[in-house]
Amino acid sequence: MICCHGRLFLLLAVAASGAGAAPAAAPGPSGSSHVELDIMESLLPAAGASSSCPTSQELKHGIPAVGTRMPLVHRHGPCSPLADTERRRPSHTDILAADQRRVEHIHRRVFHTTTTTGPRRHRRKLMSTASALPTLSGNGRGTSNYLVTIGLGVPAACVTVALDTGSDTTWVQCNPCVDYCYPQDEPLFTPAKSSTYTNISCTSSYCSDLSYSSSSYCNRGGLCIYQIEYGDDGDGGRSFTVGYYAHDTLTLANDSFREFRFGCGEKNSGLFGHVSGVMGLGRGNTSLAMQAYYGMNGSVFAYCLPGKDSDTGFMVFGPPGSIDASLDETPMLTGDGPTFYYVRLTGIKVGGHLLPIPASVFSAAGALIDSGTTITRLPPSAYAPLRSAFAAGMARLGYRETSGFYSLDTCYNLTGLKGKVALPAVSLVFQGGASLDVHGSGILYVPDVSQACLAFQPNEDDADVAIVGSMQQKSYIVLYDIGRKVVGFANVGVGC
């Protein structure tokens, strides 16, 4: 992997989020009755399977050469920076269990935020653990869905971090580790080797910015110390990081960003795999997205998630208007709370027909877009008609329903089928008319050809926020424009 060599070659990697599901054909335009999926390509490839790795010169996508553009690849694919150490894929049960932990964490976080900072459209009993969860990110192998290799310091040291649109503060493991660090592939980042590294003082307003995205306190030398706790890791413990809040030069592709603020973690533990830390892209002041917005002339960012691990997607930072694509846009509901990218889901189509779901079902708790959640979660009163319509459509196509898999309750036995198969089209409709016509690889989660399952799940309650997960974002450019307060979707067809 080319990393910090002149122009930094930045890699984003899709984790096992979509079970390696792969597109067979682009979803049709909004209103289409069917889409196609290649069943064999939708299965997770065997560990160590080789495939060609597209070069940056092959990445066209209609995106102009302005701003900062980077290739995006599957975590377990041939271009992954962790390919040599993460050959053992998590099981499908592990993936779905970790996904559920993240969803529960989001629900606790959203409820805690909205009941302590302002009114909301719903009220539920506050869980006793919510107040102890100050921030959010992936806390298991199945939830850190994307990786990015960045340059940090001068000279730039390469660090591979998990990308997260659902958290704010970026952090990396740093040398020395006071007590312990979890194992990672790359050498620990060593601040002493960077000529531009500086710790942030407690008197700085930057230290105060940590009050929401994490907790902070001062050490005896008056330096700002950050502390981030994550959700339960599934083994009775918690993932966390503690260290100095600092700034240094950040290098993204051909661009350098001075005085980038991040956490230099000297005590870290959790199920982060072999990555060096977490990159926060939420809407809080400490996130890369907000720092880029204020420091790079109102920068926007976008990504496209590839449908299979041998495909290559991309991520791009650039000035407003730099994303040369036909985008359906929906308002970013910034008043619903910090960090998350809230939107208003207004309807669901199956087979091109809008389901008769009352608007009040979607407005009860709202919805958000999340890069770290795998399976889209819907209000139960919206999921039930989706499941019913999809099952009816599958029955008309002659598919046999079979037993559910783990938390997925609508599954089909596709044994004996080869090549492309037809599926009822599924579309998510947002405020303003924006439509996300889900790619075939985002409609079915395929642990095995004998159990191919609808890749949507119901929340526990209609009062839980809906979450649009990464499977349903595949083969779309997803744009985040903080300045204009919009989220945009552009269908780019097969792959990215």
Q: For each of the domains in the chain, give its residue range(s) and CATH number, in order of start.
A: 12-491 (2.40.70.10)
Most confident of 5-19, 176-190, 299-313, 345-359: 345-359
CA dist 248 and 263 (Å) reads 10
Provide the β-strand partners of residue 427: 349, 437
d(CA 354, CA 474): 22
Q: Mean pLDDT: which of 4-13, 27-36, 310-319 is highest?
A: 310-319
Q: Which residues contact 52 (CB under 8 A, 6 or more apart)?
A: 78, 310
What's residue 226's pLDDT?
94
* Beta-ladder partners of 7: none
pLDDT band at residue 141 using 50, 70 and 90 as cut-offs: very low
Q: Going by C-beta distance under 8 Å and a sequence separation of 6 or more, which residues neighbour residue 125? A: none
User: Please, which pLDDT band fits residue 46 given cuts at 50, 70 and 90?
Assistant: low
Q: Which of 421, 439, 437, 427 is nearest to 475 (CA)?
A: 439
What is the arithmetic mean of pLDDT over 379-384? Answer: 98
Enclosing H/E stretch for 92: helix 92-117
The 10 Å Cβ neighbour count of residue 409 is 15
d(CA 357, CA 348): 8
Quick check: 134 and 150 in contact, CB under 8 A?
Answer: no
- What percent of the chain clears pLDDT 70, i.e. is strictly above it? 75
Q: Structure pTM?
A: 0.85
Say whether pLDDT at 288 is over 60: yes
Q: Pairing between strand 198-199 and 376-378? A: unpaired
Calculate mean pLDDT across residues 268-288: 88
The bridge status of strand 146-152 relative to strand 157-164 is antiparallel
Torsion of CA 288, 289, 294, 295, to 10 degrees: 50
Q: Is 235 considered catalytic here?
A: no
Out of 37-46, 172-181, 274-283, 436-445, pick the least confident: 37-46
370 part of the active site: yes
**pLDDT (0 to 100) of residue 303:** 87
**252-267 pLDDT tens trace:** 887 888 999 999 999 9
DSSP 425: -
Q: Which residue has the higher pLDDT, 3 or 328?
A: 328
Q: What is the rounded CA–CA span in Å between residue 26 and residue 34? A: 11
Question: Which two structure tokens, joined as six digits, stand for 312?
Answer: 């290559």
Interval 366-378 mean pLDDT? 94
Please answer whether residues 135 and 214 qualify as being in contact, where contact means their C-beta atoms are separated by less than 8 angstroms: yes
Q: Percent of the chain scored above 90 by pLDDT?
A: 44
Mean pLDDT of the chain: 79
Q: What is the pLDDT of residue 375?
A: 95
Closest CA to 23 of 387, 421, 325: 421
List 370, 437, 464, 481, catalytic entry? 370
The pLDDT, as a whole number, for residue 137 is 33
Q: What is the three-class DSSP state of 54?
A: coil
Q: Which residues lie below 8 Å from residue 211, measured CB to CB, with a gap of 6+? A: none
Specify the pairing of strand 224-232 against strand 238-252: antiparallel
pLDDT tens, residue by residue, 67-121: 687 777 667 667 777 766 655 677 889 889 888 988 998 898 887 665 544 434 4
Instruction: Please determine, for residue 444, whether its predicted confidence score (pLDDT) is greater than 90.
Output: yes
Residue 379, pLDDT above cutoff 80 = yes
Which is the catalytic residue, given 38, 99, 164, 209? 164
Q: Which residues pair with 72 in a beta bridge?
A: 12, 313
Least confident of 21-25, 318-322, 420-424: 21-25
**CB within 8 A of 137, min separation 6: which ones?**
143, 144, 162, 164, 166, 167, 228, 230, 278, 280, 372
Region 185-205: what's the mean pLDDT? 95
CB 262 within 8 A of CB 172: yes
Q: How confident is the model at residue 31 (pLDDT cuts 50, 70, 90)?
A: low
